[in-house]
Amino acid sequence: MTMRQVVWALAAAAGSVLGAQEPAPQQPSEVAVVISGDPGTPPRYAVPDFISLTPDAAGLAKTVGQVLWDDLAFEREFYLIPRDTYATIPVARSPDQVPFAAWRELGSDAVVFGTIARTGNDVRVEVRLFNIRTRQSVFSKEYTGSANNPRLYAHTIADEIHQQQRALRGVARTKIAFSSDRNRERMVGTVENRDVKEIYIADYDGANARRITTSRQLNLTPVWSPDARAIAYTSYRRGYPDLFVALIYQGVQEEPTRGGTQNWLPMFSPDGTRIVFTSSRDGNPELYLMNRDGTGLRRLTTHPAIDTSPTWSPTGTQIAFTSDRAGTPQIYIVGADGLNLRRLTTAESYADRPTWSPAPFNEIAFAARTGPGYDIKVYDLATGATRQITFGEGSNESPTYAPNGRHLAFTSTRTGRSQIFTLGRDGRGLRQVTRDGNNNTPAWSN
């Protein structure tokens, strides 16, 4: 949907989820030793199924092994040896049985050995990462907790291996929020023949999708608070667009704008204390700032054109946004104090939905018209250069950065319906996240 379509659709239309707690490591890691590969190549990792120490943990063990393989492959810091090549490797039941010679013949530099034992609804997960050449365990952890979400153990292990081996903040435990019509419900009230869109959250890879809103109205454009415990979004539950904040671990809804005016496209400040949003309260779509509780409201832009789609800089001192004040939608930047406004995109026929990357990258991704549809482009604020990272496969819109800045999630129609995909900031590593219904406007949590 174009910027103008979004704005005027929003302006003209009249019409408690508990997440699993992360398992706490119960023993310290061994002395960290970074595993390297051959010169100029990433280390080659093997991740076989974990070993089930109790009969009722077999399915969990297989799940953890596969999800860990996928999580480690996602960041592309390691080469993951395909799991279908492991058939000739003897299965080890304990760390002292790991067949190092066989793994080395397969070309592996590192192998993960893990076990799972289940007692009722509790599990104990133990994992070690071995250097194949030295046969040394360079990472060793034990986790205990619920058996209800075995994927979380794999996500935790992946993030901790990335941190230890690459000093990299992984994203395996992060989540993506999005708007979806997957329930195929119809709207209540006077607006007929329109699908309900509710807000959902899912793991970064699309698993464990959970519904956040249940209003049977249009609920759109979710964004996360910096602490990832709240989601602000636009809803038509009053018959016109207004802002709501869902405290997802408390099952509580806040209404900072308190109704009465049309407000949409909220965005939390990096410190979580303020929200910038679009409002037509003074007759024209402009940007406004308010404290998170709705106090301290002030107008940020003043222009007869449409100003919308705000995004904060990582420092909280600037805001990028879309405006058609030059005749077509383009990306602009303004100080959070309303000063020093300047145009960013000058070579695009149409640019919309900017999203500012987290540090250490200093760039803004946006959707640009590239023919009949849109593609994702990235503007480097240091050099002024723009690079394109999608190339005409469907229409690609609404980018959002991963918290480590290395990936983007976005909406694409390349498979027919509108779905969420992730892609590296270099344009590599495309993955499909959603498959059920139509899914739009992703937001990646911290």
CB atoms within 10 A of CB 243: 27
Task: Answer whether 235's CB lies under 8 Å from 213's CB.
Answer: yes
- 174 pLDDT higher than 60: yes
Domains and CATH numbers, the chain: 44-166 (3.40.50.10070), 175-444 (2.120.10.30)
Tokens representing 193 are 């023949």
Helix (H) or strand (E) holding 368: strand 363-369
Mean pLDDT of 365-376: 97
Q: What is the mean predicted confidence (pLDDT) over 138-154?
A: 96
What per-residue string of b and e applies to 139-154 under the rule 16 or more CB within 10 Å gives b? bbbebbbebebbbbbb
> Rg of the chain over CA atoms, in angstroms?
24
Average pLDDT over residues 90-95: 94
365, pLDDT greater than 80: yes
Whether residue 31 has pLDDT greater than 80: no
Residue 11 has pLDDT above 50, yes or no: no
Residue 17 pLDDT class (50, 70, 90 cuts): very low
Residue 48 is given by DSSP the state P
- Say what percent of the chain tops pLDDT 70: 91
Can you tell me the distance from the alpha carbon of 445 to that of 440, in angstroms, rounded to the nearest whole number?
Answer: 16
Of residues 7 and 129, more confidently modeled: 129
CA distance 219 to 236: 7
Reply yes or no on whether the pLDDT at 168 is more than 60: yes
Which of these, 386, 398, 402, lies nearest to 444 by C-alpha position?
Answer: 402
User: Reduced to 3 states, what is the DSSP secondary structure of residue 51?
Assistant: strand
pLDDT, tens digit (0-9, with 9 covering 90-100), for 235-279: 999 999 999 999 999 989 999 999 889 999 999 999 999 999 999
> What pLDDT score does 195 carry?
74
Residue 367 CA to residue 37 CA, distance in Å, equals 38
Query: What is the band of 184 on the pLDDT scale with cuts at 50, 70, 90?
Result: confident
* Res 438 pLDDT > 50: yes
- Where b means 16+ CB within 10 Å and e means fewer, 15-35 reads eeeebeeebebeeeeeeeeeb
Listed in sequence order, the DSSP H helices in 217-349 are none
43 C-beta neighbours (distance < 10 Å), count: 19
State both tokens at 110. 């590192």
Q: How confident is the model at residue 9 (pLDDT cuts 50, 70, 90)?
A: very low
Name residue 88's amino acid: T
Roughly how many angstroms between the first and final C-alpha of the chain, as a whole number? 26
**Which residues, including other chains, have CB under 8 Å from residue 72's CB and lie 6 or more apart?**
45, 47, 78, 80, 158, 161, 162
Residue 221 has pLDDT above 60, yes or no: yes
| Average of per-residue pLDDT across 298-308 | 97
Q: Is the pLDDT of residue 191 over 80?
A: no
Which H or E element spans position 137? Answer: strand 136-146
Predicted confidence (pLDDT) per residue in 325-350, tens digit: 999 999 999 999 999 999 999 999 99
What's the confidence (pLDDT) of residue 23?
Answer: 62
Q: Are strands 51-52 and 252-254 parallel, antiparallel or unpaired?
A: unpaired
Q: How confident is the model at residue 186 (pLDDT cuts 50, 70, 90)?
A: low
pLDDT (0 to 100) of residue 6: 46
Tokens of 230: 């709240």
Strand bridging mode 44-46 / 110-119: parallel
Asked if residue 30 has pLDDT above 80, the reply is no
